[in-house]
Copies of this chain bind each other. A is one copy, B any other.
Amino acid sequence: MLYKHLQGIVLGVLLSFPALAQDTWKEVAPGIWKTVIGTPDAYNLLTAADVSPKLEGLTKMPAVVFPLDPSEIVAEVTENQTQLRFPLNREEEIFGFGLNFKTVHQRGRILRLHVDHYGDSDNGRTHAPVPFYISSEGYGVFVNSARYIDVYAGTGSRKDSPNPPEARDRNTDNAWTARPYSDAVEMRIPAQGVEVYLFAGPTPLDAVRRYNLFTGGGPLPPRWGLGFTQRLHRLYTDEQVHEEVQEFAQRGFPLDFVGLEPGWQSKSYPNTFVWDPGRFPDPEGFMADLKQKGIRINLWVNPFVSPDSPIYKDILPLTASHTVWAGVVPDFTLLAAQQIFWKQFETEHIAKGVSGYKIDEVDGYDQWLWPDVARFPSGISAEQIRQTYGLLVQKQSAELFHARNERTYGLVRASNGGGTSFPYVIYNDYYEHRDFITALINSGYAGVLWTPEARASKTAEEWLRRMQTVVFSPMAMINAWASGTKPWSYPEVEEEVKSMALLRMQMMPYWYSEFAKYHFDGTPPFRGMNLEEGFRSSDQKMTLSDKEADLEANPYAEATRREVKDQYMAGEYLLVAPMFAGETSRRVVLPAGKWYDFYTGDFAGEGQVITVTPGLDKIPVFVKDGGIIPMADPMLHAPEKGEKYDLEIRHYGHKPSEYMLYDDDGVSYDYEKGDFSWRKLTVSVKPDGAISGEVSKAEKGKPDNLGNISWKFMTTQ
């Protein structure tokens, strides 16, 4: 028998923490507790991101107590792994675990969190597999490890569970299920220990805010970063760039920055990081001319260094054992490698006028990147470098701009926990329009930004529908260099596309204020419905039994129990329900409270599921009762430092309300020294129903770019 072979086996003795007593949890910031299990890796997500919590924001949040029963949180360290368990109750929903594209509800899923290009399945391999989840009960859990983490998000059933599933006979019992009830989230980390953070609410959105503030708060982009951007053909010359920019102006399409693809370099894949003398003989002059026209330049790069790069010889000893496309892979955890690599960017690009980067291929695929057997000179494992490479390039490139007191806003293909504050938006090669919206929702749970870029379309209708969602996203990007599609490529919808593009520019004061709230308060500007007060059935004063009893009579209960992944919140007051090619109508789930049509101000509904038929030119957008949306005039470029703009303030519904309008110089980091202003926009309603609005005075010595201010009360009856 097998037994004789087992004599020799040392039974896996566990350093067991059968339950983490509360006193092992230390409150490290308001409403944020930390525990250390076993002996964690010295290198983790937070050391890679290297950011400071925004305590000002955290101290403003409601006082809270430890949100779970600590005796229900179990951690164990075995010889070669750490295991974690967190409780779930019957009605609890969980969200997060990074930038998923097809699912919002994560309970019942098994994931292996692994930085990679998204491969069409929510299995944990994605551009930002953030080990952070949020509970509908109003708390969040973050595992600070740069290892590949196995997550069983409510799938396992244990003998020792207080709520074990009941055994059923599959032969005859129709209630038998292949997925019995599970009452816990379990995780496996291949390390001798790990740090875990618990974020209190009270609401799920508060838990997200605490996570975002703890990891530095959201980035505050330069104003121009919220304008339109177009990426240009990889082999364009400086002349061709000027021509395309010219055509945007002539046709009256807004444009704030353009992206140069690999051909700006003398060689790419791997890269020299040197301008190609044929296509760009005078980068400095070229970028100065564009700046005159209100256009900034973003450069495509990936970090893999060509033997023909001037930095190759110096950085070679500081690179990985394995190459990528025969280029060497810098160990960005080493100061010496950082200095050699980024000096080239500082002197050859940024000093000459470059405003940002698109940092490609720091995510995957496995077939391209270094294998997990690669060795890095720092001694940090290939796995940990893979999980944090996106964080390192964001952090280190952003610092170049910060040192010059210039803001940047770029693109990156990989991020992870701790990367909240970096001024980068994630993009990829995947192109399912619906899944792009689900990714936008999940970005709000993960402390990252995501762009549903428009790249190409089969039809004019698809092009317009995609441009409509681009306008209601963190970066309004056309990435059509390969397809050659222009905003005006479909004449039958050129005007509709243009008016959407101009709407983006009109809404600049709103977008800019919402990003300021992401930065100072941690509120994600784009987020899922499940974070919205009044969305969940429980807030409809319904008990589960009511819901079960009453599906026919209460489609709302059904709708909110289903995964809602095709509509989202944009800023404080807007609900966006995108249309997709081929659709002429859609269902929209409106949370509790009154909602109004963004374009007309008409009442749309209240705590119900409506069906809308918006027509091709409109993307359905709804405003919460009392919603205040500050709008500027349509502009072709975002206002530059000190440039005044008029304000039309729109109010929706009948509720008295307030809105905090943010302002600063729009380009520098002076706001970090307090050089910014908040103005309060107040709407009051008299007993007779008379409605009026007021704008607080600009604080003395603070930035004030407001010209004429007018009010528009959208809801007239």
Contacts and interface: CB of A to CB of B under 8 A. Distances in A.
Contacts of A152: 371, 373
A267 interface: yes
A456 to B, nearest CB: 21
Nearest to A332: B2
Contact of A378 (B6, B83, B335, B379): B6
Interface stretch (A10-18, A460-468, A688-696): A10-18
Interface string A249-271: 00000000000001101111110
A270 to B, nearest CB: 6
Nearest to A5: B47
B190 A80 contact: yes
Interface string A234-248: 110000000000000
Interface in A163-206: 164-171, 176, 178-180, 186-188, 190-192
Given A190-B80, A370-B156, A167 B2 contact: no
A705 interface: no
Interface residues of A, number: 93
What is the copy number of this chain in the assembly?
A: 2
Contacts of A10: 42, 379
Contact of A160 (B191, B321, B370): B321
A534 interface: no
A135 interface: no
Contact of A326 (B12, B180, B187, B368): B180
Contact of A171 (B155, B170, B268, B334): B268
B158 A323 contact: yes
Nearest to A391: B2
Given A156-B370, A188-B373, A367-B155, A335 B169 contact: no
Contacts of A553: none
B263 A9 contact: no
A17 to B, nearest CB: 14
A525 to B, nearest CB: 28
A103 interface: no
A366 to B, nearest CB: 5
Interface string A299-315: 00000001110000000
B12 A381 contact: yes
Contact of A381 (B78, B159, B170, B323): B78
A159 B322 contact: yes
Contacts of A179: 367-368
Contacts of A157: 322-323, 326
Interface in A370-384: 370-374, 378-381
A110 interface: yes
A98 B287 CA distance: 56
A150 interface: yes
Given A12-B380, A179-B367, A367-B179, A50 B5 contact: yes
Contact of A11 (B78, B83, B378): B378
Interface string A317-360: 00111110111100011110010000000000000000000000
B372 A150 contact: yes
A1 B335 contact: yes
Most chain-B CB neighbours within 10 Å: which of A178, A267, A373, A395? A373
A152 B373 CA distance: 9
29 contacts: A1-B399, A2-B338, A2-B396, A3-B338, A6-B43, A9-B42, A9-B378, A9-B380, A11-B379, A12-B380, A80-B190, A152-B371, A155-B366, A156-B370, A159-B328, A166-B326, A167-B270, A167-B307, A167-B326, A168-B325, A170-B267, A171-B268, A178-B367, A179-B367, A180-B323, A180-B326, A186-B371, A187-B373, A188-B372
Given A1-B396, A171-B276, 18 more contacts: A2-B332, A5-B47, A6-B42, A10-B42, A12-B379, A110-B371, A152-B371, A155-B367, A155-B371, A156-B374, A157-B322, A159-B323, A170-B267, A171-B234, A171-B263, A180-B323, A188-B371, A188-B373
Q: Which 8 A-B pairs have the closest CB atoms?
A: A11-B379, A170-B269, A12-B379, A167-B326, A3-B335, A169-B267, A5-B47, A9-B42
